[in-house]
Amino acid sequence: MPISYAVVGASRGIGLEYVRQLATHPDAVVFAIVRNKKGSFHLAAAVANLKNVHVFEADVVDHASMERAAKEVAAISGGKLDVLILNAGRMSGEAVWKGFKDYPNMDALDADCIDAFKINALGVVHGITAFLPLLRAGPTKKIAVLGTDGAIPNTVYALGLPDLSAYSMSKAAAMLATAKWALQLKDEGFTVVTLAPGLVDTTDTVGTSGDPTVKKILQDIDKNHPAFVLETPEQSVKVQLKIVDSLKPADNGGHFRSHPGNQA
Ligand SMILES: NC(=O)c1ccc[n+]([C@@H]2O[C@H](COP(=O)([O-])OP(=O)(O)OC[C@H]3O[C@@H](n4cnc5c(N)ncnc54)[C@H](OP(=O)(O)O)[C@@H]3O)[C@@H](O)[C@H]2O)c1
């Protein structure tokens, strides 16, 4: 029996690597959901000759587009989906590293936080809502939402991470949204979890030439902070997929880390 996976936010970074690794399984059918198909050139190159990958467009802040994508998936999968990987996140670029002190005024801070909240937090609610009928129709009923220990208050305090404010606040809300869904779907046999991928260098798939500035920031964190171990998307997703494969209903509501020692 083929296993169907939808990866939301698959154009680059960790989402792209999920598609790459899943596509190597002969039994997997992979639905890669991207904001902009034409602009997803890293994905296009990776899946050019693959028959088990289908690419559809949707933006997690635009619910109508998510419902459209779910319908397109259903048309191929016979109305079912086994595993939903909600990876889309507003995370790239230097601006994501801002702390409260780094905004010119409160209006700018509000606008940035609201934008982050719409993608990172409400995007989880939109994504699960759109694909729920397909997941309910399938036997597997797994949802993994990409989270981060950088949104856990004790960890933020212990590691001394005052910045990444809009990102961390919105990811904290995403993890609560995931917990709410886990409770809501528990009696239907779902397994809904947060999966923290560790500190992953996804800068090589930013644009055509990567993002050397953020790469340097990540390498400095890796060098100066023993709690963080910088990994490649390949290394991180390999472990993440082992976790996804092993998930069972008793894990519902859990917070999983691809590497226990890695705090990102
Ligand atoms: N990398 C890390 O160290 C790390 C650590 C902890 C948690 N995470 C989490 O892991 C996930 C992936 O991170 P990453 O490092 O791979 O990020 P990334 O390289 O910046 O990729 C983000 C992905 O999300 C997509 N996306 C952004 N906004 C979207 C929207 N509104 N609708 C649909 N797709 C959207 C992007 O598409 P476009 O190409 O269209 O922008 C891209 O495919 C995120 O949820 C992040 O919070 C990452």
Q: What angle do CA 31, 36, 37 make, to 5 degrees?
A: 55
134-182 tens-digit pLDDT: 999 999 999 999 999 899 999 899 888 899 999 999 999 999 999 999 9
Q: How far is 97 from 87, CA to CA, in rounded Å?
A: 19
Verify whether ligand 1 is closer than 6 Å to residue 13 (CB atom): yes
The verdict on residue 62 lying in a domain is yes
Mean pLDDT across the chain: 95
CA of 105 to the centre of ligand 1 (A): 26
Mutate to test the pocket of ligand 1, among 8, 14, 259 (most ligand atoms within 8 A of CB): 14
pLDDT for res 4: 98
> Could you identify the atom of ligand 1 that is nearest to the CA of residue 61?
31
- The answer to whether residue 211 sits within a structural domain is no
User: Which CATH number fits the domain that encloses residue 147?
Assistant: 3.40.50.720
Distance 119 CA to ligand 1 centre (A): 10
Q: How much distance in Å is there from the Cα of 234 to the middle of ligand 1? A: 15
Residue 228 lies in a domain: no
The finding on whether 218 has its CB within 6 A of some atom of ligand 1 is no
The answer as to whether 132 is a domain residue is yes
Q: Which two tokens stand for residue 239?
A: 């472990």
Residue 54: what pLDDT?
98
Q: Is 151 in the pocket of ligand 1 (CB under 6 A)?
A: no
Q: Residue 45 belongs to what domain range? A: 3-200+233-257
pLDDT at 158: 87
What per-residue confidence (pLDDT) applies to 159? 84
The lowest-confidence range among 59-68, 105-114, 191-200, 216-225 is 216-225
Domain for residue 223, yes or no? Answer: no
CA distance 111 to 159: 27
pLDDT of residue 264: 55
What's the total number of domains in the chain? 1
pLDDT confidence bin for 262, thresholds 50/70/90 = low
The answer to whether residue 214 is domain-embedded is no
CA 169, 10, 238, 122 torsion-angle sign: positive
Token pair 């917070």 is at which residue?
255
pLDDT in tens, 4-34: 999 999 999 999 999 999 999 999 999 999 9
Q: Let me know if residue 239 belongs to a domain.
A: yes
